[in-house]
Chains A and B, each alone.
Chain A
Amino acid sequence: ELKVEQNPLFLSMQEGKNYTIYCNYSTTSDRLYWYRQDPGKSLESLFVLLSNGAVKQEGRLMASLDTKARLSTLHITAAVHDLSATYFCASMNYGGSQGNLIFGKGTKLSVKP
């Protein structure tokens, strides 16, 4: 059974600092998704990583995937308050039930001035 673990679960950052959120998954998978959720809102798709070594960047966020280590990272550069939200990573069983997206518990990010 696929399990997805994120750490840290809570992250308080100062504006302008850099930090990384880690996402480990337990079984073979070559796809990893990152979503952002603001309080009381829906999930916004940030990145779709579909191969080993994939790296994608959007603004101050950069995501990468290492399928051999079963690890994805979400790196935050020079954080700003607008990045405050909960970030989820998610994966699927390779060859398993298609559509069964398994989420990590989420990382609640708070960026303070």
Chain B
Amino acid sequence: DTEVTQTPKHLVMGMTNKKSLKCEQHMGHRAMYWYKQKAKKPPELMFVYSYEKLSINESVPSRFSPECPNSSLLNLHLHALQPEDSALYLCASSQDLNSYNEQFFGPGTRLTVL
């Protein structure tokens, strides 16, 4: 299995809702990432997990809460989001945090906040 999967593919939520994005990989990778991509912009790193521990938090607002339950799963819990949080959320994984290892991206979740 050489892919990263993400669910759901699309999500529409109101500003008072609580929802979660899920990411899964079965490549034995020990580093997992969340990126946010606005339309016509490059991806921007949000969080990095290494061996199930949060390694990097790029000053992301607390309405985004990551969780890594095990080495194959990565969640992003969403609460009280704003319309400007609407974007494509991409999950990625790599063998570890050694920067020589390429990152493999999932298909993304298209999030719309009303």
> Which residues of A come within 8 Å of B, CB atoms?
31, 33, 35, 40-45, 48, 50, 88, 90, 92, 97-101, 103-106
Contacts and interface: CB of A to CB of B under 8 A. Distances in A.
Question: Which 10 pairs between the two chains have the least Cβ-Cβ distance?
Answer: A103-B42, A98-B97, A99-B48, A43-B105, A42-B107, A42-B105, A48-B102, A92-B99, A42-B108, A99-B97
Given A33-B103, A45-B105, A103-B44, 12 more contacts: A31-B99, A42-B90, A42-B107, A45-B104, A48-B100, A88-B43, A98-B98, A99-B50, A99-B97, A100-B48, A103-B42, A103-B43
A28 to B, nearest CB: 13
Contacts of B99: 31, 92, 98-99
14 contacts: A31-B99, A41-B108, A42-B107, A43-B43, A43-B92, A44-B105, A45-B102, A88-B42, A99-B48, A99-B97, A101-B43, A103-B43, A105-B41, A105-B42
Interface of B: 31, 33, 41-45, 48, 50, 55-56, 58, 90, 92, 94, 97-100, 102-108, 110
